[in-house]
Structures are given as C-alpha cells and as structure tokens.
C-alpha cells in the first residue's frame, strides 16, 4: 500500500472504496428512509468533490454542506439529480445565488423564511427549502416562539416548497441519553402542528438509535468517513483516512538529553529519535505532545517532546534500523491507529482530527468499483 511520497512531507491516502462501503452499510440500516450525506467542511477534510461523486454513484442524492460557498464549489461535480442543501441557510442578501447555482437553503429562522418567501414572490415561482426546527440543541433552527409565529400566520410559507422539516440531535452518540427521546417527541409534536412534510432528523449516530429516528432521510457524515457512531461500542465502519509522515533524519541521544521546544521530554537512557515532517500546521495537534503513539510497521512508537509547527519527534529506539532512513514512512493515522484513537489521546473527537488535516499533504485517492443500489 506504500505510495511514493514525492516531495511532500506526508501522504494522505483516502479510501473511496471504504466510503462507498460505509454508505452501503448505513443504508442497510434503513427500512424506507433515504440515505443522504453530510459533505460539509470538504467532507470532513477528505475532499467533498471526489467523495460526493463516489456517493452519487452509490445512489446518494441528498448532500449537505454548511456554507453557500461550499455548495457553489460542489455543484459542478454533481448531476442535477443531486440536491445540495446549505445548512446555514442564506447569508443575508445572497438568496438569489441559491437559484443561480441550483442549491437549496435550510431555513433556520423567521428572518430566513421571510427572505426566501420574498424571493419566491419576486420570481413568481415556488422555491424549494428545508425548514429546520430547534428541538433542544439551541443552536440552529426555528425556536418554539418562532414556530408559534408560523402557526399564527397562514401565509407564512407562501411560495416555499418545503422539502423536509429538519432537526438535529444533540446527544445521539450516547444511546443512554434521555435527550434523544425528548428531542424525538418534540420533533414529532411539532410535525403534527405544522403542514404535512417529509422529515429528517438523524446524523450518523442517530441512525443507530433505531428506525423511529430515521423518518424520510438521514444525514450521516462522520460514519461515512469511518468515525465511530456509538460511544463505547465497536466501530462497524471502515477507516477511510490513512496518513503517513516521512522521516527527515534520525539521531542517537545520550541519557539526560532534552527533545523539542521547551525540552518537555528528557531521556533517561540512550535513545534513538526520528524527526518526521508533520506538525501542528498540518493538523497534527500540539495537544498530542508527549502523548501520541504512531506506528512503524507493527511497532508502536511514542511521540516525545512538543509537536512543532512542521515536525514531530518520535522515540524509535525499538524499531529496526533498516526501517529508519530519510524518506521512510511512519503511519500516523491508520487502521491500527484510527482518527478516533488519535483524538482520544489529543483530548478531542475524531471529527476534529479529520477536519484539521492539512493542505501540505500529498493526497491520493484509492477506489473500488461502484455498487449502485
Ligand atoms: C454535521 C451535521 C450532520 C452530520 O453529522 P455526523 O455526526 O457527522 O453524522 C447532520 N446534520 C447536521 C445538521 C449537521 O450539522
């Protein structure tokens, strides 16, 4: 599986075959709901264009991004049959760009709804949208008070063709959390009061809460990219990201020698140190300093010293010398050391590890043939 590293300090290999297989696995959990995809933040750092193209081939037709800008960049990569939804809705004053670029807003407030309704009136045509309701996360969507304003005004959504009512779960990765049922009930109650529409509630973790949470469409992101959807359980998904850093040089240090900025590591005996060309500027988080473990072949290798902007230092004393040449590759993220595991040591979540992945990597995509539904 080793790729030539070329001039870059590290190689990021993205397995589109694994994304496809994860998509099929998630779809197999659904009875009648459709499986969409969250491809915001460049598909969690892995490349929205390539990933969306592969997902479209697998039958995915609903793509979610956060920003209008992301939707505009993605649009040329997807056929018209694909809907691209912008979860932040329109930036104030940019509503018409949604029509120009064939993207659909998620309307999150009275203000966004009124602006979309005005545009529909101006254009004399029905305009599609998703309307998001806040069912307890207090982040995005119409508040209960705003829903009251809707109910009080029969013309509130005139000219808006509501494709889905949407909400988002705050605690879905924790299957024991009572919040999941509370949000589900609140969503169902709101749906009963509002004009009849299709609905979408579940992210990746929400899919694993069972069919009550699936409604008409699910919106997984993390699970497509191999992150674990259920806290505390084995991950049924395939890893997608493989990050290999390149050794620049190695040295032997005597007992009592400090390593890296502020010399936060000091050897207690003779050690061999390898310097690898990946640092916090590449998204290899500084919080991994003296905490991370990476792999050379099957040998776990501890990170020693502070992570620098462009380098990280490893204690490679247990590694065979013939594996320690300049240009040799070290597995930073791999099946043995997943983004979730790296995240745990960095004190964060796998989402942040993936979305932090840097721009200096040489990127490779590997793929397997499509298996459309
Ligand atoms: C990011 C996001 C998703 C996807 O969430 P995952 O946990 O990555 O599956 C779905 N819906 C909304 C509203 C989101 O913001």
Judged against a pLDDT cut of 50, whether residue 208 lies above it is answered with yes
In the reported structure, the alpha carbon of residue 246 is separated from the centroid of ligand 1 by a whole-number distance in angstroms of 33
pLDDT of 69 reads 98
For ligand 1, say whether the CB of 204 is within 6 Å of any of its atoms.
Answer: yes
Instruction: State yes or no: pLDDT of 107 exceeds 70.
Output: yes
Confidence of residue 292 (pLDDT cuts 50, 70, 90): confident
How much is the pLDDT for 338?
Answer: 97
- In this prediction, residue 371 has a pLDDT band, given cuts at 50, 70 and 90, of confident
State the pLDDT at residue 4: 56
Average pLDDT for residues 310-320, to the nearest whole number?
A: 98
- Whole-number pLDDT of residue 372: 73
* C-alpha count within 13 angstroms, C-beta hemisphere, residue 151: 12
Please compute the mean of the pLDDT values over residues 282-290 and round it to a whole number. 97
The proportion of the chain whose per-residue pLDDT surpasses 70, expressed as a percent, equals: 99
All structural domains of the chain, each given as residue ranges with its CATH number in brackets, are 31-225 (3.20.20.10), 241-366 (2.40.37.10)
Query: What is the atom index within ligand 1 of the atom nearest the CA of 225?
Result: 8
| Residue of the CA atom closest to atom 13 of ligand 1 | 168
For the cut 90, the answer to whether the pLDDT of residue 336 exceeds it is yes
What residue owns the CA closest to ligand 1's atom 12? 168
219 pocket-lining for ligand 1 (C-beta < 6 Å)? yes
How many residues are given for the chain? Answer: 373
**Residue 1 banded pLDDT, cuts 50, 70, 90:** very low
Instruction: List, by residue number, the catalytic residues.
Output: 40, 261
Whether 183 contacts 169, CB under 8 Å: yes
Residue 221 in contact with ligand 1 by CB distance below 6 A: yes
Q: Can you tell me the distance from the alpha carbon of 139 to that of 128, in angstroms, rounded to the nearest whole number?
A: 23
Name the residue of 25, 26, 36, 38 whose CB sits within 8 Å of the most ligand 1 atoms, as the mutation to test its pocket: 38
Residue-level pLDDT at 369: 82
Other C-beta atoms lying within 10 Å of the C-beta of residue 135: 24
Calculate what percentage of the chain has a pLDDT beyond 90.
96
Q: What is the mean pLDDT of residues 50-56?
A: 98
Q: Which residue has the tokens 């942040």?
A: 352
Q: Is the pLDDT of residue 226 over 90?
A: yes
Q: Give me ligand 1 centre to Cα 87, in Å.
A: 10
| Cα 122 to middle of ligand 1, angstroms | 33
- How far does the centroid of ligand 1 lie from the alpha carbon of residue 351, in Å? 11
Mean pLDDT of the chain: 96
Does the C-beta of 38 come closer than 6 Å to ligand 1? Answer: yes
Cα of 235 vs its chain's centroid, Å: 16
Distance 203 CA to ligand 1 centre (A): 5
Report the nearest atom of ligand 1 relative to the CA of 132.
Answer: 13
The answer on pLDDT for 173 being more than 60 is: yes
CA distance 170 to 189: 18
Q: Which two tokens stand for residue 127?
A: 């305009």
Give the integer Cα–Cα distance in Å for 366 and 373.
21
Task: Using the atom order of ligand 1, give the atom closest to the CA of residue 351.
Answer: 8
28: helix, coil or strand?
helix
User: Are the CB atoms for 254 and 270 separated by under 8 Å?
Assistant: yes
**Helix, strand or coil for residue 47?**
coil
* pLDDT higher than 60, residue 147: yes
């Amino acid at each position: 599986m080793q790729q030539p590293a070329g001039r870059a300090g590290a190689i990021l290999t993205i397995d589109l075959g694994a994304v496809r297989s994860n998509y099929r696995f998630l779809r197999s959990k659904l009875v009648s709901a459709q499986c969409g995809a969250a491809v915001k933040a460049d598909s969690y750092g892995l490349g929205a264009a390539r990933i969306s193209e592969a997902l479209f081939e697998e039958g995915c037709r609903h793509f979610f991004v956060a920003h209008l800008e992301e939707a505009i960049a993605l649009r040329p990569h997807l056929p018209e049959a694909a809907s691209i939804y912008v979860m932040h809705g329109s930036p104030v004053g940019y509503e018409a760009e949604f029509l120009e670029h064939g993207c659909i807003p998620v309307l999150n407030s009275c203000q966004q709804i009124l602006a979309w309704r005005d545009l529909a009136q101006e254009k004399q045509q029905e305009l599609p949208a998703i309307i998001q309701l806040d069912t307890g996360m207090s982040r995005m969507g119409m508040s209960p008070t705003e829903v009251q304003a809707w109910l009080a005004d029969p013309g509130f959504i005139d000219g808006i063709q509501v494709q889905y009512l949407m909400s988002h779960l705050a605690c879905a990765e924790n299957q024991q959390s009572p919040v999941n049922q509370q949000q589900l009930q609140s969503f169902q109650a709101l749906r009963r009061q509002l004009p009849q529409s299709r609905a979408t509630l579940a992210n990746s973790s929400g899919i694993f809460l069972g069919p009550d949470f699936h409604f008409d469409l699910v919106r997984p992101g993390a699970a497509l990219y191999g992150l674990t959807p259920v806290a505390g359980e084995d991950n049924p998904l395939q890893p997608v990201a493989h990050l290999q850093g390149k050794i620049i040089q190695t040295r032997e240090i005597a007992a009592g020698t400090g390593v890296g900025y502020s010399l936060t590591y000091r050897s207690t005996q003779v050690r061999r140190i390898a310097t690898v060309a990946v640092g916090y500027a590449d998204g290899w988080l500084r919080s991994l300093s003296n905490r991370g473990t990476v792999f050379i072949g099957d040998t776990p290798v501890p990170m020693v010293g502070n992570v620098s902007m462009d380098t990280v230092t490893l204690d490679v004393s247990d590694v065979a010398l013939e594996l320690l040449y300049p240009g040799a590759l070290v597995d930073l993220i791999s099946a043995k050391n997943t983004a979730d595991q790296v995240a745990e040591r960095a004190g964060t979540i796998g989402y942040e590890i993936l979305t932090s992945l840097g721009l200096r990597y040489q990127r490779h995509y590997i793929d397997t043939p499509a298996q459309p539904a």
